[in-house]
Every structure is written in structure tokens, then in C-alpha cells.
């Protein structure tokens, strides 16, 4: 199982960079452990129907420090240098093995990908499970409850996926608008859950 299935900007659908750092107390290792645990928990359900390495694919951050990549490996690059600004993440596949060749610079070595190569519903639910594991103990009740609901929804989807015997491609979008943003420890107005869908997933 690959703990680098997720990257830091995946969490922007839920939290700003500052709020994420508050959640993990500035410890990226804490987030890495939560990611690993989230993928393992999802994998326990999804392994019954799918090859986990094909779902939880490896993504490497390109940091320009002379990294070596094998043909076929995937990398991501944030085209926006300031981590406090909205990210513009781009994905590339290595055509040939290379060392230190920037993905944006040489089409002989890198193939730009039009979209995120991951199933985005799996990505988003993995984010929800990981964040649930790092919600600060002193969070307001409404924040803790919100992230518990996100976790429950993610696990409910995994259970439906495990039991569904129909052959299907993994969907690319999660059901409905499930996003919130937190600013200063408060749920932003207008983003609280008003629907009653809960864990009622009947397929895709």
C-alpha cells in the first residue's frame, strides 16, 4: 500500500493550508501516518473486488533536486509557488527513465496528463478518513461531528463498493457537494449539511 497516494494539496477541498497545519500541529509525519492508516482501512474493503496497487497508485512530488524516475512513474507539480495560494497541480508520466529533468521542460521524457490519474472519489474519501484521524481533541463539537460524518460517509461507500458485484469502473466524482472550509475554527456559513443523504449510497 502506498502512503504517497495523496499529496498535501488534496486536503484543500476541506481545509486551507493554515488550518491543515493546525490540525497536524505542524507535523507532516503525523499526516503521513494518518494517510497510511486511511489507505489501509479502505483497502480492507476494496481488496475483495480490486487490485489495490492499481487503485492506490504512487504519486511522487517533483522537487527539482536531481530525483531519479523510472519509466512509467507518475509525478505531480504545483505550478503556483506560494503554498498559501490556490494550487495549480499538474500531473506527468515518465516516458523514459531520467534524473533531474523537469517535467515541464522536456516532452521526450515526460507525458503531461490531462487529468488527475487517480480515481477522485477514492482520493477524496481517503482524505476524509485521514483528516478524521487528525482532528484536534479540542476542536469545537460541530467541527468534530462534521469530520466524523465525512468519515462515516467514506466507510459507507467502501462497504457498498465491497458488496456490489456488478463490473464497473471506479467513478471519478464523489456524490454531491460534500465540501466545507474551516476558517478560525468555525464552519463557513452556507456549507453545513442540509441534506439527508447520510450514508445512503446505492451505487454510482
Comparing 63 with 135, the larger pLDDT belongs to 135
CB 174 within 8 A of CB 129: no
Is 60 exceeded by the pLDDT of residue 176? no
Helix (H) or strand (E) holding 39: helix 28-46
Is 50 exceeded by the pLDDT of residue 173? no
Query: Residue 86: its pLDDT value, please?
Result: 85
Q: Which of 95-104, 168-177, 186-195 has the highest mean pLDDT?
A: 95-104
The span from the CA of 87 to the CA of 78, in Å, is 6
Query: Residue 104: its pLDDT value, please?
Result: 85
Q: Which of 61-75, 82-96, 140-154, 158-172 has the highest mean pLDDT?
A: 140-154
- Mean pLDDT, the chain, rounded, equals 81
Is 80 exceeded by the pLDDT of residue 198? no
Query: Residue 3: its pLDDT value, please?
Result: 63
The span from the CA of 168 to the CA of 152, in Å, is 23
Is 50 exceeded by the pLDDT of residue 18? yes
Sheet of strand 74-78, all strands in order from the earlier edge strand to the far edge? 60-61, 74-78, 89-94, 110-113
Amino acid at each position: 500500500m502506498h502512503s504517497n497516494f495523496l499529496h498535501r494539496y488534496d486536503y484543500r477541498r476541506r481545509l486551507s493550508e493554515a488550518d491543515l497545519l493546525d490540525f497536524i500541529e505542524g507535523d507532516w509525519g503525523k499526516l503521513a501516518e494518518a494517510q497510511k492508516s486511511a489507505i489501509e482501512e479502505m483497502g480492507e474493503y476494496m481488496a475483495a473486488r480490486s487490485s489495490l496497487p492499481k487503485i492506490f497508485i504512487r504519486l511522487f512530488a517533483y522537487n527539482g533536486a536531481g530525483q531519479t524516475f523510472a519509466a512509467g512513474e507518475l509525478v505531480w507539480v504545483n505550478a503556483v509557488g506560494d503554498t498559501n495560494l490556490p494550487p495549480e497541480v499538474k500531473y506527468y508520466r515518465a516516458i523514459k527513465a531520467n534524473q533531474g529533468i523537469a517535467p515541464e521542460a522536456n516532452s521526450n521524457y515526460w507525458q503531461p496528463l490531462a487529468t488527475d490519474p487517480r480515481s477522485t472519489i477514492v482520493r477524496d474519501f481517503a482524505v476524509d478518513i485521514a483528516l478524521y484521524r487528525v482532528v484536534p481533541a479540542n476542536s469545537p463539537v460541530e467541527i468534530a461531528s462534521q469530520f466524523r460524518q465525512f468519515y462515516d460517509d467514506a466507510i459507507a461507500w467502501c462497504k457498498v463498493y465491497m458488496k456490489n458485484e456488478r463490473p464497473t469502473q471506479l467513478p471519478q466524482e464523489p456524490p454531491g457537494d460534500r465540501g466545507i472550509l474551516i476558517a478560525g475554527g468555525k464552519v463557513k456559513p452556507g456549507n453545513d449539511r442540509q441534506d439527508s443523504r447520510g450514508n445512503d449510497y446505492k451505487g454510482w
